[in-house]
Each structure stands twice: as structure tokens, then as C-alpha cells.
């Protein structure tokens, strides 16, 4: 079955850019919706956005001005960049597959989560 | 954005109890609701999608119901492995949003 694994720095300085990568195993990333979701004690689970088919993206308006998502099909990976981070961006970041089709819309596969702290 | 409100925020129950968790949407979500279970230090795991469809491999003691703005997740006979936090999530419109969670604790 599909497996997802996040990777990236666990500590980011304020005002810098948070960068995470999700590697997908046992399945192709082609023609699937790949999402990032974060979880912090203060805001619970928050959907950040998705990337589809290498170029189509949909971001949460609350983060849209700072988010960029992309895919690298040659590596079966997708990535998240969140710019100008503050302490409010401290959270566990999950990558997940958004299953989207007739009769179903939900996150069926998740990574284990990547904790990110924003601090000097 | 569609706001998702869960109640209760926590519930204490015993093994074998029937547990019901409620999720209310701020507007009609046409049945596009999923439920997830999350254990400490782990990612959420989908239990139910489209209000009442059981995800493959999920025990039949979990069931979902509802329509419009009001939905429920029922655990018919609570098992030791069911002590966890449960979240609802709407898929009617973007941005996708989650409820605040319901923690099921051991009585």
C-alpha cells in the first residue's frame, strides 16, 4: 500500500522559509491529489493545500500568500514551502493523499508527521 | 469557510459502552463528511467517508450517520484500542476544514 514520508528541518528561524518534502512509496504520484495538513495545539488540524498533476494547486486562503507546493514526478515526491514563518507556524506537518472522486473525498494515506518549530 | 463543531470535546467511557460523537457544520455540506481517529504521536486514520461509508479494514462497530449540517459517529461497543481522539472533516468546499476533536478517555 502507499506509504508517505516527510523530510525536512525540524527548526526554522522566524522570517525564513519552511521547506518540507514528502516521498511517496509503493505508488505513483501521477494523477493524485497530494496535500499538506498541519496540527498545532492552538489551531487543531489545518488543511494547507494540495498539488495535483504537477501544476494544479489549491491553497487555504489563510496561508495562500505564503505557500508554494510542487511535485517532482521523477523522484515521486511533492513539496511544501511556507515563507515568512513566525512562531504561529510551529506545528506537526503531515503530508497526505486526498482521495477525490465520485462518491468519495477524504484523506486516505498520511505520513507519520514532521514536527517543525519556529524559533531563533 | 465552513466551521465544524464537535461535541463533546471529551467523553469518559468504559469498554463495551456505546459512544456517540456529534459534528455540526456551519452550513449544509451535502453529506461530504469524513471521520478520523488519531492516537498520540500518530497521524489521523480515516474511519468513515461520505457520512456513512466504512473505510476498508475498519471494524464494523464504527458507523456514521447524518445529513445537512448534523452528523454523528457511533462506536457500538467500545474496545480498548478505541481510546483516541476523533475528528470530523468536511469536503463540501474549499478550504477543507476539520472539527476540533473529541477525546475518548477511559472511565
Could you report the per-residue pLDDT of A60-82, keeping only the tens digit for each?
999 999 999 999 999 999 999 99
Residue B10 has pLDDT above 80, yes or no: yes
Residue A42 has pLDDT above 90, yes or no: no
pLDDT computed for residue A117 by the predictor: 97
Average pLDDT over residues A19-27: 96
- Residues B54-104 have pLDDT tens digits of 999 999 999 999 999 999 999 999 999 999 999 999 999 999 999 999 999
Scan for cell 506545528, then name that residue. A91
Contact between A107 and A4 (Cβ < 8 Å): no
Of A62, A52, A38, A41, nearest to A111 by C-alpha is A38
Residue A44 has pLDDT above 90, yes or no: no
Q: Which residue of B has its CA nearest to A63?
A: B95
Distance in Å from the first CA to the final CA of chain B: 36
| Chain B residues touching A94 at Cβ < 8 A | 43-44
Instruction: Identify the band that residue A101 occupies on the pLDDT scale cut at 50, 70 and 90.
Output: confident
- Give percent above pLDDT 70 in chain A: 100
Contact A106 B46 (CB under 8 A): yes
pLDDT computed for residue A60 by the predictor: 97
| Distance to chain B for A75, nearest Cα, Å | 24
Q: How far is CA B34 from the centre of its chain?
A: 7
Strands A114-118 and A11-12: parallel
Average pLDDT over chain B, rounded to an integer: 96
The neighbour count for residue B77, using CB atoms within 10 Å, is: 12
Residues 6+ apart with CB under 8 A from A7: A20, A21, A22, A23, A114
Average pLDDT over chain A, rounded to an integer: 95
Distance CA A111, CA B41 (A): 12
Cell numbers that stand for A43 in this block? 489551531
Contact between A5 and A25 (Cβ < 8 Å): yes
Strand order in the sheet with B62-67: B4-7, B19-25, B70-75, B62-67
Contact B44 A113 (CB under 8 A): no
Say which residue, A55 or B87, is predicted with more confidence: B87
Cell numbers that stand for B32 in this block? 461530504
**Which of A47, A58, A103 is opposite residue B97, by nearest beta carbon?**
A47
Amino acid at each position: 500500500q502507499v506509504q508517505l514520508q516527510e523530510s525536512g528541518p525540524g527548526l526554522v528561524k522566524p522570517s525564513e522559509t519552511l521547506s518540507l518534502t514528502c516521498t511517496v512509496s509503493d505508488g505513483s504520484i501521477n494523477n493524485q491529489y497530494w496535500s499538506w495538513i498541519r496540527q498545532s495545539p492552538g489551531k487543531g488540524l489545518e488543511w494547507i493545500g494540495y498539488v495535483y498533476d504537477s501544476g494544479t494547486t489549491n491553497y487555504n486562503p489563510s496561508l495562500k500568500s505564503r505557500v508554494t507546493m510542487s511535485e517532482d514526478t521523477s523522484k515521486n515526491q511533492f513539496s511544501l514551502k511556507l515563507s515568512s514563518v513566525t512562531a504561529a507556524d510551529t506545528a506537526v506537518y503531515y503530508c497526505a493523499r486526498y482521495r477525490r472522486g465520485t462518491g468519495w473525498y477524504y484523506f486516505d494515506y498520511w505520513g507519520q508527521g514532521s514536527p517543525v518549530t519556529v524559533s531563533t | 469557510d465552513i466551521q465544524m463543531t464537535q461535541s463533546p470535546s471529551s467523553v469518559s467511557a468504559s469498554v463495551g459502552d456505546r459512544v456517540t460523537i456529534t459534528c455540526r457544520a456551519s452550513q449544509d455540506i451535502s453529506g461530504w463528511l469524513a471521520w478520523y481517529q488519531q492516537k498520540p504521536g500518530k497521524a489521523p486514520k480515516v474511519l468513515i467517508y461520505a457520512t456513512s461509508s466504512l473505510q476498508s479494514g475498519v471494524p464494523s462497530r464504527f458507523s456514521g450517520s447524518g445529513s445537512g449540517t448534523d452528523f454523528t459517529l457511533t462506536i457500538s461497543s467500545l474496545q480498548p484500542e478505541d481510546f483516541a481522539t476523533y475528528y470530523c472533516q468536511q469536503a463540501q468546499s474549499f478550504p477543507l476544514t476539520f472539527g476540533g476533536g473529541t477525546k475518548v478517555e477511559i472511565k
